[in-house]
Amino acid sequence: MRELAEHRKAVQRWRELEKSIADIMELAALAGEDSPLMSEIETEIVKASSTIDELEMETALGGRYDTRNALLAIHAGAGGTESQDWADMLMRMYLRWAERRKFKAEVLEISPGEEAGVKSVTIGINGSYAYGYLKSEHGVHRLVRLSPFDADHARHTSFALVEVMPEAEPEIDLHISPDDLKVETFRSSGPGGQHMQKTSSAVRITHLPTGMAVSAQSERSQYQNKDIAMKILQARLLELQMAKHAEERAKLKGERIVAGWSNQIRSYVLHPYRMVKDHRTSYQTSNTDAVLDGELDGFINAYLRSPLSREQD
């Protein structure tokens, strides 16, 4: 029913565009070069052009899971505090991007760094086409800057891995037998007050057939943590299923799949010059502050308009 409603909405937008263009053509047939109708026609043409641009972008979001909510996980690379601070900067960047688009973003699970930043964080981002837009962010992000943690202010290079997964719909995407799950509870090791550290509120769920394990300990309630852990596990199992399908397609086409830490997609250089460059599309900007404040649409749109987006689908 949700998919049917989305299709109806899409058809309605195309019908409205069709009618708008027909009205413009009718006005143009009636108006002469000096007609007062010309300003109205020009206004309608601008509106129609804007709608066409939006619809063109939506046709690029035609993947099976593109309309879904997204789970975005960030993992600091080797480098201790430097990389953990970079992971924290990326977390803020994506939270600001979601805020700009009026998407709902929630930190589901977080593992703080020892001195600063985060070791890893998982964010749930809810909104129409959230996964479709964010799938372009999957890969390794590289930062070059003068270190604020180095007494000599030397230049450092840091890495963080960003994973983007569509939110799973268990009734449709997966069948997980309760017998395939091992659920364990333990005391939270992170911050959160006495209650969280004295009660077994943290939850770890292991999917026995794959050996995949996820944990959640951010909430005070064991039930809340179990729900979060299950949501993350379902998304990771769906991602595993998608990866297997991608590998099968690649074998048929004779392609080589590159994944994990070797897949560097974007560089953020803050010294000796300022530049953010996407290595897949060559889209770049010198406005690094805006990008780190969540202005990612230029990079996302460049990716969605490229052949890479269709290959991923």
Q: What is the pLDDT of residue 253?
A: 59
C-alpha span between 228 and 102 (Å, rounded): 22
Tell me the CA distances in angstroms from 31 to 27, 46, 167, one per residue in order: 6, 18, 52
CA–CA separation, 293 and 297 (whole Å)? 12
Q: Can you give the residue ranges of every domain in the chain?
A: 2-60, 70-169+259-312, 172-253
- What pTM was computed for the model? 0.81
Q: Closest by alpha carbon to 71, among 194, 180, 152, 162? A: 162
Instruction: Mention every residue, 6+ apart, whose C-beta is less than 8 A from residue 121.
Output: 73, 74, 87, 91, 107, 109, 110, 111
What is the second-level CATH architecture of the domain 172-253? 2-Layer Sandwich (3.30)
| Measured distance CA(179)–CA(139) in Å, rounded | 33
d(CA 138, CA 160): 11
Sheet containing 104-112: give its strands across: 104-112, 118-126, 70-76, 155-166, 139-146, 264-269, 275-278, 284-285
Indicate the DSSP class of residue 184: E
CA distance 135 to 137: 5
Q: Which pLDDT belongs to residue 311?
A: 61
What is the per-residue pLDDT for 254?
Answer: 66
Which residues, listed in sequence order, are joined to residue 106 by a DSSP beta bridge? 124
Q: Output the tens digit of pLDDT for each of the chain's 313 residues.
A: 777 887 888 899 899 999 999 999 988 888 776 777 888 888 899 999 988 887 887 778 888 899 899 999 999 998 889 999 999 999 999 999 999 999 999 999 999 998 899 999 999 999 988 999 999 999 999 999 998 888 777 899 999 999 999 999 877 788 899 999 999 998 876 554 444 445 678 999 999 999 999 999 888 889 999 999 999 999 999 999 998 888 877 776 565 555 556 779 999 999 999 999 999 999 999 999 999 999 999 999 999 988 877 666 5
The yes-or-no answer to whether 70-169+259-312 and 172-253 have a common fold is no
Quote the Cα angle for 29-33-36, to 5°.
85
Distances, alpha carbon 172 to alpha carbons 98, 129, 175, 231, 253, in Å: 26, 18, 8, 14, 28
User: Residue 41 in 3-state DSSP?
Assistant: helix
Count the Cβ atoms, other than its own, within 10 Å of residue 236.
21
Say what the pLDDT of residue 218 is.
82
Q: Span 70-169+259-312: which CATH code?
A: 3.30.70.1660
Burial class (CB in 10 A: 0-12, 13-18, 19+), 141: buried
